[in-house]
Structure 1
Amino acid sequence: MSRHTWDPERYLTYADERGRPFVELLARVAPDPDGADEPRTVVDLGCGPGNLTALLARRWPRAAVTGLDSSPEMIARARTDVPGVAFEVADLREWAAPDALALRAPVDVLVSNATLQWVPGHLELLPGLLDRVAAGGWLAFQVPGNFEEPSHSNRRDLAAEAPYSTHTRDVAVPEAHDSATYLRVLQAEGCDVDAWETTYLHVLTGEDPVFTWVSGTGARPTLQALPDELRGDFEAELKRRLRDAYPPDAQGRVVLPFRRVFVVARKASGRKA
């Protein structure tokens, strides 16, 4: 699989729209109101540029908050923009591996926002992530659920055509499950689970705004896999297809429906970390 890098600046173009699901996910993580189980350790898996990790530090100011991401570019931006929070370059698969359990204390709140969809087979990874959570602690994550929408299918279809397919056949592609699937897996692990789905209607403006959105996330590995002499033609054709799929109204506004899947699981108090 080809290796791609992330651009914090491009990713933050729609920071408000990308941040809203995180806020709504976090609202369902509810330690007891008397503060008896106020979290001491909070970890953000796939923290990106750290702008949302900062919200964790504000909500739980007495907790030790750590952001982890496999992208050195994202971690460098987070360390610059978010003082007072520890950030590390780390692969969540290695962080959740069994041999890592003895190296770190259990986590009271483990959050992952729009990250697990990039991890192949992440459903099988959930028990390992839960093992990193303290008894009575929380695992909360959100993943996109819009991979059959034109914003993804147009990129996928175009990448399968010549002359692009030679370069794009092994690129990383995101995938996720529905809320019921995640709920069943975590219930089987003894958790109390709250799972739901929401479709946002993002109103975007500017030139080719849907392309701007996807080029910072789902389409980025494909675009980076293409050689310079092909990338321009690919981008132009993808923009055309996206304009057809998401036409602007008379005021130039484009509506991008975006389904997201949310899961908040509380680990049983008797289940050891």
Structure 2
Amino acid sequence: MHADTAPARIPAPGSPSTPTWDPQQYLRHAGHRARPFLDLLNRIPELPARPARIADLGCGPGNVTALLAERWPEARITGFDLSPEMLRRADEEYAGPTAGGGRLDFRHGDLAHWLPEETYDLIVSNAALQWVPGHPGSFASWVNGLRPGGTLAFQVPGNFTAPSHRILAELCDTPRWRDRLAGHGARYVHLLEPAEYLARLIELGCSADVWETTYHQLLTGTDPVLDWVKGTALRPVLTRLGDDRAAVDLFLDEYREALREAYPPGPRGTVFPFRRIFAVARKEA
């Protein structure tokens, strides 16, 4: 990154620490975002009961929750999320009966404290647990909430040492932004490596399949990497800056310049490597 050439600091009014989500921005890259979930879904074994009971932890706008209903159309599926904006979009678009006689519904739920209140055949989470420090500590309770033969399945981003995130963390810690944003760009050190997730799940008596994949995504348009992170990693920063439009524009200008250097466009778009970590753990029948 360039050295900070204007060290004047931005005032730091208080603001909420929970990110405010924008479903429309998140869904701008819906195809790329859904692909890892489809790969995860393809590795989930048949569920022990019909109709199945399924929980989707961190359901977001509900678009991937609907994919669960396509595979298990008779299932009763509940998506849980902390964001009112995401839940509103999910409820408007997808809630209600499904073609196979099942049902989709969506509820408020904080994954940091979520515990099964009934027995599930599948507990699944797509790109959400990275926001939950200490989430491996919940695995035992989640597995206990599964029917024998049930499955816990999740995928999380594993790209937090990539330039997109390293630059964000470094920028938040520059003299201009440190008082207001320090720590907001580096919130994922609690994520485990694949071997560590495998060990945790085996210790719980599950048969587990854990793997990683790096997708080399071709993003198009102007500043596509910035557009991508506006829907995810940049949300805590934008939430922290709040309605201070001048500060938001200044921060985005600095971040945009650094991203352009790190991810130069090619003749057909910008290549954005994205590593993902997957786990499918089946409770002993």
User: What TM-score do the two structures reach when normalised by structure 2?
Assistant: 0.87
Give, in whole Å, the separation in 2 of the partners of 1:121 and 1:169: 21
Alignment match, 1:108: 121
Give, in whole Å, the separation in 1 of the partners of 2:238 and 2:157: 20
Alignment match, 2:105: 86
Please point out which of 255, 271, 277 is paired with 1:261.
Answer: 277
Alignment match, 1:57: 69
Q: Is the 8 A contact 1:2 1:170 kept in 2?
A: no
Shift of 1:229: 3.0
Give, in whole Å, the separation in 1 of the partners of 2:225 and 2:26: 13
Alignment match, 2:13: none
Q: Is the 8 A contact 2:95 2:106 kept in 1?
A: no
User: What TM-score do the two structures reach when normalised by structure 1?
Assistant: 0.91
Report whether the alignment pairs 1:174 with 2:188: yes
Alignment match, 2:216: 201
What amino acid maps onto 1:229 in structure 2?
A: A
Number of residue pairs matched?
259
Give, in whole Å, the separation in 2 of the partners of 1:222 and 1:109: 33
Give, in whole Å, the separation in 1 of the partners of 2:119 and 2:253: 48
What amino acid maps onto 1:238 in structure 2?
A: Y
Could you report, residue by residue, the CA deviation over 1:80-100 in whole angstroms, capped at 9, with x for unpaired residues?
A: 11132110011123222xxxx
Secondary structure at the aligned position of 1:249 is classed as coil
Give, in whole Å, the separation in 2 of the partners of 1:4 and 1:27: 31
Secondary structure at the aligned position of 1:94 is classed as coil
Could you report, residue by residue, the CA deviation over 1:219-246 in whole angstroms, capped at 9, with x for unpaired residues?
A: 1101221243322111001011001000
Give, in whole Å, the separation in 2 of the partners of 1:225 and 1:260: 27
Give, in whole Å, the separation in 2 of the partners of 1:127 and 1:21: 24
What amino acid maps onto 2:28 in structure 1?
A: T
Could you report, residue by residue, the CA deviation over 1:10-67 in whole angstroms, capped at 9, with x for unpaired residues?
A: 00010000000001101111117xxx64452011000000000001111111110111
Secondary structure at the aligned position of 1:91 is classed as coil
Give, in whole Å, the separation in 1 of the partners of 2:179 and 2:144: 40
Alignment match, 2:163: 150
Please point out which of 258, 269, 272 is paired with 1:241.
Answer: 258
Give, in whole Å, the separation in 2 of the partners of 1:65 and 1:167: 40
Secondary structure at the aligned position of 2:112 is classed as helix
Give, in whole Å, the separation in 1 of the partners of 2:221 and 2:75: 40
Give, in whole Å, the separation in 2 of the partners of 1:73 and 1:124: 27
Alignment match, 1:129: 142
Give, in whole Å, the separation in 2 of the partners of 1:174 and 1:14: 22
Q: Is the 8 A contact 1:164 1:230 kept in 2?
A: no
Alignment match, 1:17: 32
Alignment match, 2:178: 165
Give, in whole Å, the separation in 1 of the partners of 2:122 and 2:94: 19
Report whether the alignment pairs 1:185 with 2:200: yes
Once structures 1 and 2 are overlaid, which stretch shifts more, 184-193 or 1-10? 1-10
Tell me, which stretches of 5 or more residues in structure 1 are unaligned?
none
Tell me, which stretches of 5 or more residues in structure 2 are unaligned?
1-15, 97-103
Q: Is the 8 A contact 2:158 2:276 kept in 1?
A: yes
Q: Is the 8 A contact 2:22 2:231 kept in 1?
A: yes
Once structures 1 and 2 are overlaid, which stretch shifts more, 214-223 or 259-268? 214-223
Alignment match, 1:6: 21
Could you report, residue by residue, the CA deviation over 1:133-182 in whole angstroms, capped at 9, with x for unpaired residues?
A: 22210000000000000010010000001221111125372342111110
How do 1:34-49 residues align onto structure 2 when only pairs under 5 Å count?
37-38=49-50, 40-49=52-61
Q: Is the 8 A contact 1:2 1:171 kept in 2?
A: no
